[in-house]
Amino acid sequence: MTDLTNLTVAGIRDGFRAGDFSAREVADAFNANVAAAKVLNAFIVETPDHAVAAADAADRDRSEGNVKPLSGVPIGMKDLFCTQGVQTTAGSHILEGFTPQYESTVSAKLWAAGAGMLGKLNMDQFAMGSSNETSFFGNVISPWRRSDGGNAALAPGGSSGGSASAIAARLCPAATGTDTGGSIRQPAAFVGISGIKPTYGRCSRWGVVAFASSLDQAGPMAHDVRDCAIMLEAMAGFDPKDSTSLELAVPNWEVALSGDLRGKRIGIPKEYRVDNMPAEIDALWEKGIAWMKDAGAEIVEVSLPHTKYALPAYYIIAPAEASSNLARYDGVRYGLRDLPDGAGLQDMYAATRAAGFGPEVKRRILIGTYVLSAGFYDAYYTQAQKVRTLISQDFDRAWEKCDLLLTPTAPSAAFALGEKSDDPLAMYLNDVFTVPSSLAGLPAMSVPAGLDGQGLPLGLQIIGKALDEQGVLNAGLAIEERAGFTARAEKWW
């Protein structure tokens, strides 16, 4: 019998429909992998019963001739999505024990499509981080190791580090992630899988614990482009409960997948060639350009002049929005309450938040509070919002000359846990290639493209026009077809 946990989402879906195996067998196989991989710390909560129940329902549906789009497919759910009756923490102590009384729109859609839940995936606290080192529930460890023979534990990237690690280690075939400044794309690149952040507004944010509301977007992470298309179709769609939700039909992204890029112009933004860019990443980018040509595309050099201001603008806007969104965690209605003896209401707020938030979360709340405070609002926040307009206009001008952009996803391969955690700024620089498209709300995806000198995955990023997920997925497929990326993390856990 095939090891079912080596199958992709499409492989499981189609094999299940063809009667090759039961959904129960698939759920049991992944549940076993999850239970045997605790050392990776990818899951905060395991929910094998949920996966089994969904599998049993799928097997029943199949016998009645009634299969749904994801019947038979168990997935991981990032712990940022409210799941009814199942703890949802956002990786934070301040929400430890919080049990939502409702289901997020995105997770509800996935369950309605027939998927099952293997567990809630670990993540950087409140989605703030690029290495999954800020979770209250401990670091997530990447299943990858450097080929130098050392056993240094590597970061899976962040904030969707648990999602990335779990997929790469075959604990689940796919997972949800969220991406605010790169939190789907960068971890996908670090562990050699695919991940897409759709156009802002494609996936509902209702029931997603908010970090930065003008940037947060849910998206799928999976082994390949087809799986991402399948998952995104199930996750996306108009939701009246999210005022920023796009009132547009969900395109049939999977059916229209094609790696034929004839007639497409791929833009190479010169400002993404940063100082001290590792030669390997530059070389991979060149390979990507060659693959695009091979797929029939025309290559065009373009300029996005305000690129270098994207990261500082992001680190004003996102913390500002976070300081507002995280004001609700005050110990009154849900979550942790810390009530020192004799404390009044204000002391309760201050003590609860001090005890409940981790250091990176506090840092960002303080930055956000500062840039929004009286006297500084215009110099910082308004200025950043104006720079954001300029960054968006840069993309608009680029679209006059090209249809899609090709860039590296991250400025390095995965680093070791602890290697960058001393300097918050060094950590922020991980997002240099992903943040601009987040600020502009554009769809962007990372696909695995090669390995570095130490055998670690490297990814390439495709950015598209608003609403052109199809263009992005297709270019991703063209890379996937030519990159021949079959490397897997060797099992040490």
Instruction: Name which of 15 and 312 has its Cβ closer to other proteins.
Output: 312
- Does 379 contact other proteins by CB under 8 A? yes
* 102 touches other proteins by CB under 8 A: yes
Residues in the chain: 493
Whichever of 244 and 303 has its CB closer to other proteins, that residue is 244
* 359's tokens: 């250091």
Whichever of 176 and 323 has its CB closer to other proteins, that residue is 323
CB of 338 to other proteins, least distance (A): 9
- Of 245 and 409, which has the nearer Cβ to other proteins? 245
What is the C-alpha to C-alpha distance for residues 463 and 182, in angstroms, rounded to an integer? 12
Q: How far is the CB of 296 from other proteins (least distance, A)?
A: 29
Q: Which region, judged by CB under 8 A, interacts with other proteins, from 10-18, 67-75, 95-103, 408-416?
A: 95-103
Q: Helices 469-483 & 225-235, crossing angle to 10 degrees?
A: 160
Position 101 contacts other proteins (CB under 8 A)? yes
Active-site choice (163, 183, 421, 446)? 183
Closer of 143 and 441 to other proteins (Cβ): 441
Over its C-alpha atoms, the chain yields an Rg (Å, rounded) of 21
Residue type, 229: A
Interaction residues for other proteins, span 239-268 (CB under 8 A): 240-241, 243-244, 246-247
Angle between helices 225-235 and 9-17 (to 10 degrees): 80
Residue 440 interacts with other proteins (CB under 8 A): yes or no: yes
Site string for other proteins, 125-164 (x = CB under 8 A): ----------------------------------------
DSSP bridge pairs for 293: none
Q: How far is the CB of 282 from other proteins (least distance, A)?
A: 25
Q: Rule CB under 8 A: choose which of 256, 382, 401, 491 binds other proteins.
A: 382
Pairing label, strands 404-408, 74-78: unpaired
For 36, the token pair is: 């045997």
Q: Which of 363, 454, 488, 493 binds other proteins (CB under 8 A)?
A: 363
**111 within 8 A of 117, measured Cβ to Cβ:** yes
For the chain, the distance separating the N- and C-terminal CA atoms, rounded to the nearest angstrom, is 23
Give min distance, CB of 209 to other proteins, in A.
Answer: 13
Q: Return the beta strands (E) in 27-140 as ranges.
A: 43-46, 74-78, 116-121
Q: Check: CB of residue 101 under 8 Å from CB of residue 143.
A: no
Alpha helices by DSSP H, listed for 238-332, are 279-294, 310-325
Q: Which of 339, 401, 491, 492 binds other proteins (CB under 8 A)?
A: 339
Q: How far is the CB of 422 from other proteins (least distance, A)?
A: 11
User: Measured between alpha carbons, how far is 399 from 462 in angstroms, rounded to an integer?
Assistant: 13
Known active-site residue 386 = no
Stretch that binds other proteins, among 3-11, 157-165, 286-294, 360-368 (CB under 8 A): 360-368
Whether the CB-CB separation of 149 and 193 falls below 8 Å is answered with no
* Angle between helical axes of 279-294 and 469-483 (0-180°, round to 10): 100
Q: Which range, of 265-273, 305-313, 446-454, 484-492, touches other proteins by CB under 8 A? A: 305-313
Inter-residue contact 406 to 471 (CB < 8 Å): no
Q: How far apart are CA 55 and CA 118, in angstroms?
A: 11
The active-site residue out of 159, 165, 245, 437 is 159
The question of whether 183 is a catalytic residue gets the answer yes
- Stretch 183-242 residues interacting with other proteins (CB under 8 A): 199-201, 214-215, 240-241
The residue from 375, 400, 484, 486 that contacts other proteins (CB under 8 A) is 375
Distance in angstroms (rounded) separating the CA atoms of residues 357 and 362: 6
453 in contact with other proteins (CB under 8 A): no
Residue 7's identity, in one-letter code, is L
Query: Omega into 159 within 30° of 0, i.e. cis?
Result: yes
C-alpha 149, offset from chain centre: 29
Site for other proteins in 110-129 (CB under 8 A): none
Q: Minimum distance from CB of 99 to other proteins (Å)?
A: 6
Q: What is the phi/psi pair of residue 449, to 5°?
A: -125, -20
Please select the residue that binds other proteins; options are 365, 402, 445, 458, rule is CB under 8 A.
365
Catalytic residue among 68, 78, 197, 264: 78
Exactly one of 15, 69, 278, 312 binds other proteins (CB under 8 A); that residue is 312
Q: Which of 24, 146, 265, 362 binds other proteins (CB under 8 A)?
A: 362
Total residues interacting with other proteins, rule: CB under 8 A: 78
User: Is residue 353 part of the contact set for other proteins (CB under 8 A)?
Assistant: yes
**From 8, 22, 303, 383, residue interacting with other proteins (rule: CB under 8 A):** 383
User: Which pairing describes strands 74-78 and 116-121: parallel, antiparallel, or unpaired?
Assistant: parallel
276 binds other proteins (CB under 8 A): no
Shortest spacing between CB 265 and other proteins, in angstroms:
23
> Could you write out the DSSP letters of every residue in 12-30?
HHHHHHTTSS-HHHHHHHH
SS (H, E, C) 160-201: CHHHHHHHHCCCCCEEEEEECCCCCHHHHHHHCCEEEECCCC
- What binding mask, one character per residue, do residues 318-337 give for other proteins by CB under 8 A, x or -? -----x---x--xxxxxxxx
Question: Residues with catalytic annotation?
Answer: 78, 159, 183
